[in-house]
């Protein structure tokens, strides 16, 4: 009897497999980090074969720890770090190059060339995206131009492109023995190659980017029982389990938070930070530096869209303080350090490590610590590091309020950083809206499980999912208006200091 749903979350820093019961409660979990490869400043890569090995290991690990068998899973769903690009050989499964990670800035020159003809908004009307190093299209172009053999193989139809859900699903469903080569609409909407309304690859952009159609996966809904087939019974699940869902991780969190109604928003605080506002069945173009993207598509239904504010560095700044500055050993310790002082002593940290993403889109920006005086100590820096995430979120909310014309009135939050209560209170203060954390913080995996569970009939109605959502805690604003606005003015000045750094 299939009593559970499983979900793979192939994230930027780790891969996990979580098993959920019908109430959306976690009954099994395993997780493994993978290596971050930095071959040059600003470049970030992952080894796709390490990621596939880790995926198998965490699936086996979660089953073993929970005593659940693969055959007890009604279906599985996949969620993933988006944009990260792999090109591999269809006969052997061997990657032509490491996966180029979403944070990687190596396509700066390619993007500059693309912008020469039409500027940063050249493809925005069709794709919803500005030209930026963040997205997959320029990363594919880089691989085809820089890896010997890759272009010829792509033109012959031997080289396949995929984002991480495509890569993992291909392997799970048989790999070289005929694995499914598909991408879901949410991931495809991050490539800068898909027409946002038609949900098809755009011929003109493919030509401009020099990407042969043969290498692109088929675009499918995020939740569907008939698309992907089943897992290989000789694989880590040791059973044929239908793959019924695939959703990019930030959209999966939106589903996991059950933001099914236009106007609902969530913010996920992980390596980066991603605020998504559900806007309904029509894509709304952004005029204030946000992205228009697909929120999800359930089989047989119209797609839903959202406006997204993407922040490249959030929890990664805490990791930087831990690993590069050696200030503590565990990310959670940053809260205790920051609590030792009432404020940052006038210091701001702007983590423009890979330029600034939304709403600025400035690849020429680099990080700054502004406002240093002899008075400032590590406690102030720790506090400023946390505040940076809250201020970056405020930048996004300001842009979103202007784009949607409706001010945000509350925010659902999730991700690794929301354990930090100091940050959550400050977030509520600088936004001047209540901030609510759900009791299941693993909303990303839960969203992928929901996508798979709805398609497989494990859950029948979205209302069942909404019933599963439970509040853990809400923080309400308690900061004086003047303090809030003065703090934010300082932040804007600090952001200015990061610009025009890279020549
Ligand atoms: N208590 C904490 N306070 C601040 N940051 C934290 C805390 N715990 C974890 N983090 C940060 O959260 C991130 C991990 O969150 P997670 O959602 O697992 O990220 P991802 O899915 O992007 O890998 C790390 O960057 C880490 O530095
Ligand atoms: O893996 P995460 O949680 O850092 O998310 C990465 C985003 O999907 C990048 O767009």
In this structure, the residue with its CA closest to atom 6 of ligand 2 is 81
Ligand 2 lined by 249 (C-beta under 6 Å):
yes
Q: What does the pLDDT look like over 100-122, one tens digit per residue?
A: 999 999 999 999 999 998 899 99
Distance CA 426, CA 258 (A): 25
Distance CA 105, CA 245 (A): 30
Residue 348 counted as an annotated binding residue: no
Q: How far is CA 238 from each of CA 241, 267, 301, 353, rounded to the nearest angstrom?
A: 9, 36, 33, 42
When the pLDDT of each residue in the chain is averaged and rounded to a whole number, the result is 94
Q: Which long-range contacts (CB under 8 A, 24 or more apart) does 119-126 make?
A: 120/361, 123/192, 123/205, 124/285, 124/292, 125/285, 126/195, 126/196, 126/202, 126/204, 126/205
Measured in whole angstroms, how far is the alpha carbon of residue 170 from the centre of its chain?
A: 20
**Phi, psi for residue 333 in degrees, rounded to 5:** -65, -15
Q: What does the pLDDT look like over 456-483, one tens digit per residue?
A: 999 988 888 898 888 999 999 999 999 9
Q: What does the pLDDT look like over 380-406, one tens digit per residue?
A: 999 999 999 999 999 999 999 988 887
Q: What does the pLDDT look like over 411-445, one tens digit per residue?
A: 999 999 999 999 999 999 999 999 999 988 889 99
pLDDT at 320 over 90: yes
Which ligand is in closest contact with the Cα of 334?
Answer: 1
The whole-model pTM stands at 0.92
Please report how many Cα atoms fall inside a 13 Å half-sphere around the Cα of residue 55, on the Cβ side: 26
Ligand 2 lined by 11 (C-beta under 6 Å):
yes
In this structure, the residue with its CA closest to atom 10 of ligand 1 is 417
Distance CA 291, CA 302 (A): 20
Q: How far is CA 483 from each of CA 369, 376, 379, 388, rounded to the nearest angstrom?
A: 21, 20, 20, 16
Cα of 82 vs centre of ligand 2, distance in Å, is 6
Q: Which residue carries 């299941």 as its tokens?
A: 440
> What was the pLDDT predicted at 431?
96
Distance CA 184, CA 144 (A): 23
Q: How confident is the model at residue 1 (pLDDT cuts 50, 70, 90)?
A: low
Ligand 1 lined by 12 (C-beta under 6 Å):
yes
Q: How confident is the model at residue 373 (pLDDT cuts 50, 70, 90)?
A: very high
Mean pLDDT calculated for residue range 233-239: 88
> What was the pLDDT predicted at 300?
87
Mean pLDDT calculated for residue range 300-322: 94
Handedness of CA 302, 303, 304, 306 (dihedral sign): negative
Contact 389, 491 (CB under 8 A): no
């Amino acid at each position: 009897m299939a009593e559970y749903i499983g979900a793979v979350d192939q994230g930027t820093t780790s891969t996990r497999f979580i098993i959920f019961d019908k109430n959306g409660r976690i009954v099994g979990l395993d997780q493994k980090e993978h290596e971050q490869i930095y071959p040059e400043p600003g470049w970030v890569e992952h080894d796709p074969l390490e990621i596939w090995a880790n995926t198998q290991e965490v699936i086996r690990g979660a089953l073993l720890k929970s005593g659940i068998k693969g055959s007890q899973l009604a279906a599985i769903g996949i969620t993933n770090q988006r944009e990260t690009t792999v090109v591999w050989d269809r006969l052997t499964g061997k990657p032509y190059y490491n996966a180029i990670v979403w944070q990687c800035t190596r396509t700066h020159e390619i993007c500059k060339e693309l912008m020469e003809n039409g500027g940063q908004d050249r493809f925005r009307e069709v794709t919803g995206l500005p030209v930026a190093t963040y997205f997959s299209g320029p990363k594919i172009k880089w691989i085809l131009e820089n890896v010997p053999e890759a272009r010829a193989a792509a033109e012959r139809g031997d080289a396949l492109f995929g984002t991480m859900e495509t890569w993992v699903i291909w392997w799970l469903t048989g790999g070289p023995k005929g694995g499914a080569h598909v991408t879901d609409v949410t991931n495809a909407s991050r490539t800068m190659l898909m027409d946002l309304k038609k949900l098809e690859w755009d011929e003109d952009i493919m030509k401009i980017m020099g990407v042969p159609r043969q290498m692109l996966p088929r675009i499918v809904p995020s939740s569907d029982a008939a698309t992907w087939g089943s897992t290989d019974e000789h694989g880590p699940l040791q059973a044929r389990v239908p793959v019924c869902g695939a959703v990019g991780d930030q959209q999966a969190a939106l589903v996991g938070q059950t933001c099914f109604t236009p106007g609902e928003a969530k913010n996920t605080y992980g390596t980066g930070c991603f605020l998504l506002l559900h806007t309904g069945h029509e894509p709304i173009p952004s005029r204030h530096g946000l992205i228009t993207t697909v929120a999800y598509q359930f089989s047989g239904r119209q797609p839903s869209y959202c406006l997204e504010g993407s922040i490249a560095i959030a929890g990664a700044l805490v990791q930087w303080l831990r690993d590069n500055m050696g200030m503590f050993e565990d990310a959670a310790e940053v809260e205790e350090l920051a609590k030792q002082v009432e404020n940052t002593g006038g210091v701001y940290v702007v983590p423009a490590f890979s330029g600034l993403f939304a709403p600025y889109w400035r690849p020429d920006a680099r990080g700054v610590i502004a406002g240093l005086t002899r008075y400032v100590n590590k406690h102030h820096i720790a506090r400023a590091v946390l505040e940076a995430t809250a201020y970056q979120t405020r930048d996004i909310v300001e842009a979103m309020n202007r784009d949607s014309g409706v001010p945000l009135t509350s925010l659902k939050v999730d991700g690794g950083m929301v354990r930090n209560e100091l940050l959550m209170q400050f977030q509520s203060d600088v936004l001047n809206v209540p901030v609510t954390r759900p009791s299941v913080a693993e909303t990303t995996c839960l969203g992928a499980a929901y996508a798979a569970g709805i398609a497989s009939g494990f859950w029948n109605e979205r209302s069942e999912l909404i019933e599963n959502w439970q509040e853990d805690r809400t923080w309400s604003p308690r900061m004086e208006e003047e303090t809030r606005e003065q703090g934010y003015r300082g932040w804007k000045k600090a952001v200015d200091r990061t610009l025009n750094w890279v020549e």
